[in-house]
Amino acid sequence: MFQKPSESDIQSAAIRIQPFIHQTPVLESGFFNELTHAQIYFKCENFQKAGAFKSRGAMNATLSLLPEELKQGVATHSSGNHAQALARAAKICGTKAYIVMPDNAPKVKVSAVEHYGGEIIFCEPTLEARESTLQQVIERTGSVLIHPYNDLRIIAGQATACMELVNVVRDLDLVFCPVGGGGLLSGTALSLHYFSPKTKLIGCEPLGADDAFRSFKSGEIVPSVYPKTIADGLLTSLGSLTFPIIKHYVHDIVTVTDQQIINAMYYVWERMKIVIEPSSAVPVAVALSGKVDLKELKIGIILSGGNADLTNLPWN
Amino acid sequence: MFQKPSESDIQSAAIRIQPFIHQTPVLESGFFNELTHAQIYFKCENFQKAGAFKSRGAMNATLSLLPEELKQGVATHSSGNHAQALARAAKICGTKAYIVMPDNAPKVKVSAVEHYGGEIIFCEPTLEARESTLQQVIERTGSVLIHPYNDLRIIAGQATACMELVNVVRDLDLVFCPVGGGGLLSGTALSLHYFSPKTKLIGCEPLGADDAFRSFKSGEIVPSVYPKTIADGLLTSLGSLTFPIIKHYVHDIVTVTDQQIINAMYYVWERMKIVIEPSSAVPVAVALSGKVDLKELKIGIILSGGNADLTNLPWN
């Protein structure tokens, strides 16, 4: 068997992080319901603290540290939402966050981490440089690695989003959830398994970064090689902890093209008047693709985040 | 004395339109609270049906018609949110909407009216052409004019947004509300007068279309001449019914520049992850301008609509 957060791990995570995160709203849209002939419930993690579900896992992992660990600070490498979320969690817990970022990271991402008081260590924009720099930072500072997804505390934290969803909307037939490294998807899978066992789960992935699709179909981890997609939060490969959970509990993984993702993102902005980032549009694109039969079903969609670059929109 | 909707007119409007509109959410933002040292509550009419508060007034006016009036259809001239809202209201009530639009109206606005089944009559893009064409349409069809703002049923309908706000948030010190023709502002003024009489009201206007400011200061209607602003919903002049209510019940009118409006709009999108149109950003810009002392106060802001052109954002 494989390791996984238990039912009570997820319930404890929810209680632990509750003062520091938003219980995000669940929205409906007449437009999308008509278009799909389904009843769709959007779990709006774009309204989450620091703009994405990543605040859940980062808070849970940081709050789970022993006092002597916490004192040493937390560390990760990320140029995305996990970096901001971890910097914020560290600030709330009164400790330091060391964030290794590639030196070509967008300025807006760097500023966001700085805004939360994170200490940024720049490195060459390669995975090797990121990992070796992170290793050096951890050795130098004694800080604790908080991996963006391959960590049971992170998975339990991300699981709380879907737990909230199924507490609000009962008897969902299907949930659509984006997949990058698999922290959100594996957590969502466990929340459905424990709290809504009849609900099926579809992982949603960009065609240009379809390692989870290929891993799921082949039965073993196929790493992401030269991924290329507008959904910049979904470039990473599945981890040794997330993959077995996904293999065991996810019903299917479906891919969509960047053009489908961009169209779905535009529709959400235009019709629902909410800002979502490209990665959030991936499950919406799957719902609109016709690849899964939704007719007459109750569907949950996890909108994972809202940190879009407003000055560079993909439809312009 | 001047004519105005009574307390029970507004309560009746709320009941009448309730099945056909959203009771929109009230959102808060840590970012804006920190920035202003105030507690701000955003009434999100950008999430309203057809994307703006205009659905309230249009529904109330259309539902208030006698059966024999309703049969003849409704008519207006508008290239904006009232056009969509009236077309939608007519469709719901099973009658026709005749919408006079300038022949240079943006395609997206034309499509939106067509989407709701409105019949569009194009004319030259001048106020004279719009008014004379509308008059011809009314004579030809026997339809009933539903003016965008200078109509007591419209004012009562728009008033329900602020009535909902003060039902949810008690003891507001101040409300900021945009002003164009004054339908929303006069309705908001009456709702505060009846349902939250200690709350002061600030009308918020673009400097480039400051007829309400000048009318308010001079005590008589000064029409908008060559208005020019990014806030395209606020180009119209006050009406004979809206002005006396505004003069009597509004505490002050404050103007902001287009650059302040654009900055405020960007902040709302970036930080709150919601799509608002430029007109909605006007009261936010006033709140951020420093022109009104907000410190330690409870503030309501009416975000009037979300029909922004996503392909032409003002900060790009």
Cβ-based contacts of B275 with chain A (< 8 Å): 269-270, 273-275
Query: Residue B31 and residue B271: Cα distance in Å, rounded?
Result: 7
Separation in Å, CA of A47 to nearest CA in chain B: 7
The catalytic residue among B55, B64, B78, B79 is B79
Contact criterion met (CB < 8 Å) for B273 and A306: yes
Whether the per-residue pLDDT at A316 is higher than 90: the answer is: no
Query: Which residues partner with A102 through β-bridges?
Result: A123
A36 is written with which tokens? 């799909």
Question: Of A102-106, A225-229, A298-302, B284-288, which range is least confident?
Answer: A102-106
Catalytic residues of A: 54, 79
The catalytic residue among B4, B43, B49, B54 is B54
Whether the per-residue pLDDT at B128 is higher than 90: the answer is: no
Average per-residue pLDDT in chain A? 96
Span A7-53+151-303: which CATH code? 3.40.50.1100
* CATH domain B55-145 topology: Rossmann fold (3.40.50)
Same fold yes or no, B7-52+151-303 and B55-145: yes
Give the residue on B whose Cα is nearest the Cα of A277: B273
Work out the percent of chain A whose per-residue pLDDT is above 70. Answer: 100
- Given this model, what pLDDT does residue B314 score? 93
Single pTM value for the model? 0.95
Q: Which of B274, B276, B315 sits opposite A310 (nearest CB)?
A: B315
- Given this model, what pLDDT does residue B275 score? 98
Whether the per-residue pLDDT at B86 is higher than 90: the answer is: yes
Contact criterion met (CB < 8 Å) for A275 and B276: no
List, for residues B36-72, the tens digit of each pLDDT value. 999 999 999 999 999 999 999 999 999 999 999 999 9
Give the residue on A whose Cα is nearest the Cα of B315: A311
Whether the per-residue pLDDT at A225 is higher than 90: the answer is: no
To test the contact with chain B by mutation, choose from A92, A115, A270, A272 the residue with the greatest count of B C-beta atoms within 10 A, namely A270
The CA distances from residue B215 to A51, A55, B221, B238, B290, in Å, are 42, 49, 5, 8, 23
* Domains of chain B, residue spans: 7-52+151-303, 55-145
Whether the per-residue pLDDT at A197 is higher than 90: the answer is: yes
Separation in Å, CA of A311 to nearest CA in chain B: 6
A278 is written with which tokens? 């490209």
**Coil, strand or helix at B150:** coil
List, for residues B3-38, the tens digit of each pLDDT value. 999 999 999 999 999 999 999 999 999 999 999 999
Query: Residue A55 and residue A84: Cα distance in Å, rounded?
Result: 8
The CA distances from residue A251 to A50, A62, A196, A248, B83, in Å, are 30, 31, 14, 8, 46
DSSP state of B137: H
B53 is written with which tokens? 């508060």
Q: How confident is the model at residue A203 (pLDDT cuts 50, 70, 90)?
A: very high
- Given this model, what pLDDT does residue A127 score? 80
Which amino acid is residue A86, in one-letter code?
L
Contact criterion met (CB < 8 Å) for A275 and B274: yes
CATH class of the region B7-52+151-303: alpha beta
Would residue B228 show up in a list of annotated catalytic residues for this protein? no
Query: Residue B216 and residue B133: Cα distance in Å, rounded?
Result: 31
Query: Residue B47 and residue B60: Cα distance in Å, rounded?
Result: 18
List, for residues A1-50, the tens digit of each pLDDT value. 899 999 999 999 999 999 999 999 999 999 999 999 999 999 999 999 99
Separation in Å, CA of B304 to nearest CA in chain A: 12
Average per-residue pLDDT in chain B? 96
A272 is written with which tokens? 């629902």
Q: List residues of B whose CB lies inside 8 A of any A CB.
A: 25, 46-47, 51, 266, 269-270, 272-276, 306, 310-311, 313, 315-316
- Given this model, what pLDDT does residue A27 score? 96
- Given this model, what pLDDT does residue A44 score? 98
- Given this model, what pLDDT does residue A102 score? 87
- Given this model, what pLDDT does residue B16 score? 98
Q: Which residues of A172-206 are buried (b: 16+ CB within 10 A; e: fewer)?
A: bebbbbbbbbbbbbbbbbbbbbbbbeebebbbbbb
Would residue B198 show up in a list of annotated catalytic residues for this protein? no
Query: Residue B202 and residue B299: Cα distance in Å, rounded?
Result: 11
Q: How confident is the model at residue A74 (pLDDT cuts 50, 70, 90)?
A: very high
Query: Residue A174 and residue A182: Cα distance in Å, rounded?
Result: 18
Q: How confident is the model at residue B180 (pLDDT cuts 50, 70, 90)?
A: very high
Which amino acid is residue A21, in one-letter code?
I
Whether the per-residue pLDDT at B178 is higher than 90: the answer is: yes
Q: How confident is the model at residue B105 (pLDDT cuts 50, 70, 90)?
A: confident
- Given this model, what pLDDT does residue A126 score? 83
Whether the per-residue pLDDT at B108 is higher than 90: the answer is: no
Separation in Å, CA of B314 to nearest CA in chain A: 10
∠ CA B296-B300-B305, nearest 5°, is 145
